[in-house]
Structures are given as structure tokens and as C-alpha cells.
Amino acid sequence: MAAKEAQGSLEAPNIITLLHHRVHDSPVLDFLHHFENPFFSAIVIFILVVIARRATRNIQRVPGPLQNAVEMVVEALDDFVVGLIGKDGRRFTPFIGTLFCYILAMNLLGIVPGMKSPTAGIETTIALAIIVFFYVQYTGIRSLGPLGYLDHLAGSPRPNGVGGYLITLIAVPFNLVLHTLGEFTKPMSLAIRLFGNIFGEDVLIGQMLLLGIVALSFMNSPIGIPLQLPFYLLVLLTSVIQAVVFSLLSTIYIFLMLPHHDEHHA
């Protein structure tokens, strides 16, 4: 059964796909199969909520293993954000930290047998990109004000003399269009990059799994050679890197929307 599912998909089959093909005419399985990525995303959210709840339910001065691990992660993420934005950027740590943990957990979920990485679906990564886009624009409007936000999109023109004003009048409309398009394309590039890398990982694991099954097909073996196991280390590394890259670029996009008092030196 696993061999047939692997042949029908580039990725390794997950538990929903297997049950959907085994149990016919099931409205519940049809629904879950159609919304696989949101279903596995919900599993990740549930796991993260349980971990956060258990770690903070009874905070001790001498932390236990779980509380200590969570505190280390929070401190590392806070240092990451503050190191990029500065001390004023600490208010963005909850958003960036949640984004990082959520993406990393979704990336790694595909390693678990029967599970699937929701970030291997373009709809999941686009949804994340839309969230980042609106958060960045909200940060810009709140930090700069409506007029300052428009000034930022216009390229912050500071004309000098009559000639400078004429050039500014010509350049500002182009800057508005280009910068507005840039604000849309930056998060979309995040979505495509994350989707492409995680989908590529899942395809690699799925094809190695299929190759291992085919290698022993002449023996009618119910299992195959676990050729995918050596690639799990690569998947672990890539999953962490992609979560870091998405969070890093999101932090930079937020930083670019903040007022910079040293701009006059440039």
C-alpha cells in the first residue's frame, strides 16, 4: 500500500493520505485530505501551545528541564531580535519568536513518519507571508505615522533648490509605485523560498523511500531499504536554516520600517 502511495505522489504518503485511499466514501477523510496542510498546521499549534502551557504553568526560581529549555529558546530569540533592531526592538520578539518556532516546528513535522510538513504547501507559506506583510505595514504606519509612511514609500525625498524640486516631482510617483511593489514582493519571495526548500526536502525523502521499496520489490517484502535515513540530517539542517532565514528577513523588513534618526548623516 505504501509503495502504491509513494508512486502516486512525489512526497512520502502521510497518515491522512493512506487512510483516504484505504477508506472510501468517508466525508471526514475527504475533508481532511482536502485540507491536509491546515490539519497538520493545527497539530503544530497544539503541540506548541501544550509546551508553552506546561513550561509556564508553574514557574520556579530553579527551573526544571522543560522550563529551562523554553527560557533558553526565548532568551536566544530575544538576543537575535535585539541584536538586529536594538533594544527598542524587544517589543517585536513575541512576533518574530512565534514565527520562528511555528515555522521550524512545521518544517520538522515532515520527519515524523506519517506526518507532513505544512510548509511544503504553497498556501501555507503564502499565508505566513501575508501575515508578515500586514504586520510590517502596520509597524510602519504606527512608527512613522500615515504621512511618514507615505514619505517612506516615496523614498524620503529631500529636494534642494528648484532643480531638486523638479526632479523630486518626477521621481516621487515612480518611487511610490516601485516601493509599493517592493513591499508586496519581499514577503512573497519569503513564501516561495520557504515552500521550494521544504517541498524539495519532502520530495527527496519520498523518492528515497520509493527507491528503497522498489529495491526489495522482487522479494515481495512489506518494507524497503531505509535509504531516506541518511538524508534526515540534511533535512534537519535545511529546516533550521529556512526558519532562521524567514525570521531574519522578516526582522529586517520590520527594522526598515522603523524611524532612523541618523539618516541625515547619509
Query: How would residue 255 be classed by pLDDT, with cut points 50, 70 and 90?
Result: very high
pLDDT band at 165 (very low <50, low <70, confident <90, very high): low
CB-based contact 123:37 (threshold 8 Å): yes
pLDDT at residue 164 in the model:
52
User: Is the per-residue pLDDT at 233 higher than 70?
Assistant: yes
Distance CA 102, CA 195 (A): 14
Comparing CA positions, the residue from 93, 47, 34 lying closest to residue 251 is 93
List, for residues 175-216, the tens digit of each pLDDT value.
777 777 888 888 889 999 999 999 988 888 888 888 887 777
Residue-wise pLDDT tens digits, 167-185:
555 666 777 777 778 888 8
Residue 141 has pLDDT above 80, yes or no: yes
Nearest 10 degrees: Cα torsion 214, 199, 8, 4: 40
As a whole number of angstroms, the distance between CA 204 and CA 111 comes to 12
pLDDT of residue 246: 95
Q: Residue 116 gets which letter from DSSP?
A: -
More confident call, 244 vs 180: 244
Contact predicate 85/255, CB 8 Å: yes
Distance CA 1, CA 114 (A): 13
The grid cell for 130 is 501575508
Q: Whole-angstrom Cα distance, residue 13 to residue 4? A: 9
C-alpha–C-alpha distance, residues 109 and 61, integer Å: 32
For 22-33, the DSSP string reads HS-S-HHHHHHH
pLDDT at 2: 44
Per-residue confidence (pLDDT) for residue 154, from 0 to 100: 72
Determine the average pLDDT of the residues in 60-88.
Answer: 88
Task: Identify the sign of the CA torsion 83, 45, 53, 235.
Answer: negative
Q: Rounded to whole angstroms, how far apart are CA atoms 126 and 9?
A: 22
Q: What is the mean pLDDT of residues 27-44?
A: 90
**Burial label, 12 (beta-carbon count in 10 A; 0-12, 13-18, 19+):** buried
Q: What is the pLDDT of residue 64?
A: 82
Q: Report the distance separating Cα 136 and Cα 143, nearest Å.
A: 10
Average pLDDT of the chain? 83
Report the 10 Å Cβ neighbour count for 194: 25
**What is the distance in angstroms between the CA of the first residue and the CA of the last residue of the chain?**
65
**pLDDT of amino acid 262:** 46
Mean pLDDT of 72-76: 92
Q: Is the pTM of this model over 0.95?
A: no
Task: Examine the pLDDT at 50 and tell me if it is beyond 80.
Answer: yes
Check if the beta carbon of residue 18 is closer than 8 Å to that of residue 5: yes
